[in-house]
Structure 1
């Protein structure tokens, strides 16, 4: 019988796990994007299923030093009874680049279940190295050795701030990129000072300082690790020549301190220290050209390249139905700060303030995405109305000219409702009497108010009226009441015994709550101790008797003298006896302690109703 149960269990387990094992084949190749000439690096092919017959392309641009070495890893996850198993097979080659340039390794192929699968190609740039980088094994892994004491120079660590454009139109985006060039081991950054850009609107791109992606570059015959620290998109608000002040960064550098020793073991016991070095970039000069004049009357303020699409939620409606006019401005530029399109809506509609939604992400080319402007209009009359085409102009910096976008006119047919019309004068055309807002019809006729109105006598003033007198009397009366109430509260708080008496029940319940916590944790001694403190503390505060003056011998007489009945007094003393014996007795049942807790809470509640306040 047991065998059948085990067989059934493993069958169900296999059926549950099997679907999760089935996964799409992924065969990929990975290698550093940049390597130093003469340094070794790894080319790794990975596949997520068991495979065979790996065929690597001819790697003529690199020298194969070793490989392939194979490795396998697997993992199984069980989450909410869902089993997931992943397997990874890796084939690693050790290569070396002897020639500088940019090289592409073609895709490799492998067979999985009889099917041929290809990897992605890999592009690797080999940069020229210097003497130090060629002899340093740490640089082969993309790391720098600690700087020697006194050997740190401005060429070992510096930063640059560059602009993708130095001559732009007003409001045209400019990308400012700050990069770090280092040949030493950086432990961190202690301070950053960015320039104040008063004449620019600044948009920060996603921060890269917490996860800098390093690459190797050769600059003037020296090999550096180069990483992008920050990128900011700025929009010049005024024309003229502007200077972007330098960016300053204070780095923490691990520096070696060589010992002054003649021992042959001196080099093995060098110590290290962390030093600070502040470096600054050079300023950037940007020439900002003013937008051409005259500007179009419908100029939106956008500098970039955008499109516009105008639609209506419906073109057939009834009187008092809501209609949404939607304008979507899409493209690249500063349209987050642009003006909204202006619709020429007939006076027969009520128009509400537009609702604007920006689905715009900042990129190196500026803001990219959609600006959605939705305007709600409500027709108050029946008929057919036309909303003219919307004209919307922007400045295209690529062409140096203004461009105008025009939507299509929108025709809306509004049907009559049963309560809209009333007979017109002398059999004339019907007119609406549901309009409440006052508006000119033509030049001199207004809508007549159809609802009751509140009229006020002429030549009436606030000064001397009943409201004027009450505005003085009410604050004075409130001040007197608040003052008297506050004096009473101060007097009551000054009587310490009365305060303790009033808060006795509250303090007892606070201690009982603490004992309940001990009850949940299974702390027997703490539980009984807090019950005892709650009973004695309540009696002391309620009857204004010092705790040191209360004992089990006089507790009976004190409780009876202050109004407690005989049964309640015995129950009170019984709880104290139980707590005293149980604290030092073997572990008892949890239900007994819970029952004792409820009994204590009930006893204190009864005492609250029977005990007299001590005057």
Structure 2
């Protein structure tokens, strides 16, 4: 009995302290306003009113100006916490009323005070002044404004008509290397707060994601008579690398939808973040898409490798130069297509000119239409003799995706005046007699040689002639053998394939050391394709992963070596459309390419 009395005494003491703590907190109750001071037209924002007690009755929001639209609210959440420190109990409790608003026009507006009865007494919040200026990106693009999403009660079924994803391709019948824009669009009538989904690695495509804003801006669309909040969630540019019917598979997105739970217990609400709402996981399946990829027609001679729509131009940095001074011939390709895979232009110069390797400047970027911009080729030439010259026109042959045919673009010929140079040797002057010219007949007496003393017909003369003949015969034999060897161009290219590839890989190593990822991958790609073209005697424009694999197998190259070689090509081509690779990946690609070429050299003698 004494034990029971002791327990009751402790319980009553605790209860009295608990009530006193709550009463002390109630006396300090007030309404606090939380909201932004500045927003943009079309921007959604939260307006919160926090009351530090749960004894709230008749909460009313002030008259909201017409400049704002109330999309949702009030959303009521309750928070409670208890603590006991050295026998003293403290209770903290509050109620938060949240409204979601959207600004519709510029200006400075005041949202009046909110009213409620707190602990049985009238209470008023402070008014809030909000400045509206500028526009969000979606408002600038003329998109419809988002309407309030439906918040269902907990346990409500989320059907395929409430939330779904549509997948669209801007083209479903394309040629190899022609870009396809794939768009994933979300339609929702429920409160979607999170969505995640990733494009898998695809066979037959190079895939590049189009950068979109992290902050998604919804707009309103009507589908089959129903109004949805809609947003473009992700976009990808796909570059088909082979012909045939290619499938972009279905993608499963994982989303979270908010639902209301009006029967949440206060303690449960506290441990669930102090909210009367719960998060429901929902999986969405984006349907698969089929793309029909057509092979390119038979490629004409001089084909640049371009697929898309382009324009070209050519210019000189100087119209008049002196002999021996350099001139820059600039050839520019503008347009949209597979610009990073274009071949260098072929410039045929007069015989009096020296030509140097082109400097390539890449001014392209990835957009929803594909890779667009300019590729600039600066070719340095040096005239050696004075005169009037014409730099011939440059031809550019590409496959036009608008007319589905090959087109040839030709630049205008460029006139160039070359004046006499400052350095001797640029021109030849015959006005001054030089020592090796034929002199005038000598009129004074000259010594007469005896016939017997003539070198002609002597033994030394015959010996010298025999020696010259022997040297001549030896040179004829040597040159004939060399000419016979050089006549087999295919064999020569095959023997020099490794040397040319090593030279290009050394240049790639320098670019890697400089941190120039874009040019590094371009140079490694040229080394790999050029090597296999020379080694197997196949023109570069006819090369493909399939036929090089088949040819290497015929030459008994190990399967792992073939696979390593093809992977190096894939990594380079992928990096061409996905710049920003790290130095670690460049080192791996370089090592893989070098190792593959070395092992192929060992297998194919």
TM-score, normalization by structure 2:
0.45
Structure with more contact order per residue of length (Cα contacts < 8 Å, sep ≥ 6) = 2
TM-score, normalization by structure 1:
0.44
